[in-house]
Amino acid sequence: MVIKVLTGNYTVAEAVRLSNVDLITAYPITPQTTIVERLSELVEGGLIKARLVRVESEFSALAAAYGAASCGARAFTATSSHGLLFMHEMLWWVAGSRVPMVLAVVTRALGPPWNIWNEHTDFMGQRDCGWLMAFAENNQEILDTIIQLYRITEDEAVYLPGILGLDGFLLSHASEPVDIPDEDVLKDFIKPRSQPYNMCSDDVLTMGNLPMAEEAMMMRYDIHKSIEAAKNVINEVDEEYRKLTGRSYGGLAECYRCNDSKYLIIAMGGWVGTMKDVCDELRDEGYDVGVLKIRFFRPFPHEDLVRAISGVKGILVFDRSASLGSLGHIHAEVLARAYMLSNKVIVKGVITGLGGVDVGPKEVREIFMRFVKDVDEDGQIDNISEWVLGGG
């Protein structure tokens, strides 16, 4: 074990090194670029025995990784923002053909107007492609989740690709101490490459031929069932990893001080760290509040949510993305589940932090106090989905 001070992006590269990746495709885009820069140094220095292919676009980055992965290589690539949008069609191909691989998405706003700062809209735009979607809170979790994602995606119950999201700049360019496990510790955890079929074997086959309508629907259903099946695999892998390294993230979601809480804050990504700090302060001041961190957005942790919200009076969901004309992405998920259980709980969504708008402890506290006042004094909220624009 060694502790290194690494940026989020360099942590991604370390995780790729530890995961025995065979093929990396590289195309730059801010704020992702230092991931593939660092990987190319590691490959050049012989520290990763992988082939690094420089491609001419993000579409090609995923297409090339996909081709190699369908031929038996453990593959990795990374992108952000518009690069991810350009990749979008390929995401469907990779998931639809059931080829496991891992993609790091360093989240960034989408233009216009041109903006390189953080928000989660690019990540959320991939919601329905059939990829597993995880998100990290800090650099240590980046490392551990990428290593785990290779295991989860290559599990035969799953056989689907996976995304790890990390906040642009807030994590990608922020340095934190990261505990790097010895290769020895992970020796049995990192398995040989596994996938449902191999396009480059003697077994001559075609992928993606025209099916009958019922077969096409059956295949989509199988992806849905496999994402559901991934829940068990995620929990088991989290537990196995804990035994090796001492670190666990609760599987799909982490409940922070949410036992016996009257209020629950729900969010995903780097700002959950801020919310935990605010939660500690509020607990000291006598508020019964907890934080539920969404670690996997797909599969969505419905069971964890159901457990966490029983007995809760008010839920405050923070989204760094919005489905324009509707709600924040996480808010919509939480609302649907919460009201299936009970129509008494109040679920408010706050959309903030878009375009890089800064959300610190002060903002979280203000929003929370306003929510508590509405719930406790009026027993209702005026605005179920509020945009907090910042700069006030």
- Looking at 59, 92, 197, 287, which residue binds another protein (CB under 8 A)? 197
Stretch of residues binding another protein (CB under 8 A), selected from 106-114, 129-137, 193-201, 258-266: 193-201
Binding mask 198-217 for another protein (x = CB under 8 A): x--x-xxxxxxx-x---x--
φ/ψ region of 251 (left if φ > 0, alpha if ψ in -120 to 50, else beta) reads: left
Least Å from the CB of residue 150 to another protein: 17
* 195 touches another protein (CB under 8 A): yes
- Bridge partners (DSSP) listed for residue 370: none
3 C-beta neighbours (distance < 10 Å), count: 10
The count of residues in the chain is: 392
Query: Within 10 Å of residue 284's Cβ, how many Cβ atoms?
Result: 8
Separation of alpha carbons 193 and 179, rounded Å: 25
Label residues 39-62 b or e (16+ Cβ within 10 Å = b): bbebbeeeebebebbebeebbbbb
Interface characters, 158-177, with another protein (x: CB under 8 A): -x------------------
Looking only at residues 331 through 370 of this chain, which bind another protein when binding is defined by CB under 8 A?
none
Closest CB 304 distance from another protein, rounded Å: 26
Residues of this chain, 58-77, that bind another protein according to CB under 8 A: none
Q: Cβ of residue 161: shortest distance to another protein, in angstroms?
A: 14
# binding residues, another protein (CB under 8 A): 24
222/280 with CB nearer another protein = 222
Q: Which helix (H) or strand (E) holds 132?
A: strand 132-135
- Quick one: 74 or 120, whose CB is closer to another protein? 74
- Which residues from 275-334 bind another protein, rule CB under 8 A? none
The reply to whether 196 sits near another protein by the rule CB under 8 A is yes
| Site for another protein contains 244 (CB under 8 A) | no
Out of 44, 177, 221, 341, the only residue in the binding site for another protein (CB under 8 A) is 221
Q: Does residue 128 belong to the site contacting another protein (CB under 8 A)?
A: no
Q: How many angstroms separate the CA atoms of 289 and 276, rounded? A: 10
- Counting other chains too, the contacts that 123-128 makes at CB distance below 8 Å and 24 or more residues apart are 123/84, 123/163, 123/165, 123/297, 123/321, 124/297, 124/321, 124/323, 124/329, 125/84, 125/85, 125/88, 126/84, 126/88, 126/91, 126/163, 127/297, 127/298, 127/329
Query: Which residues of this chain interact with another protein, rule CB under 8 A?
Result: 96-98, 156, 159, 195-198, 201, 203-209, 211, 215, 218-219, 221-222, 226
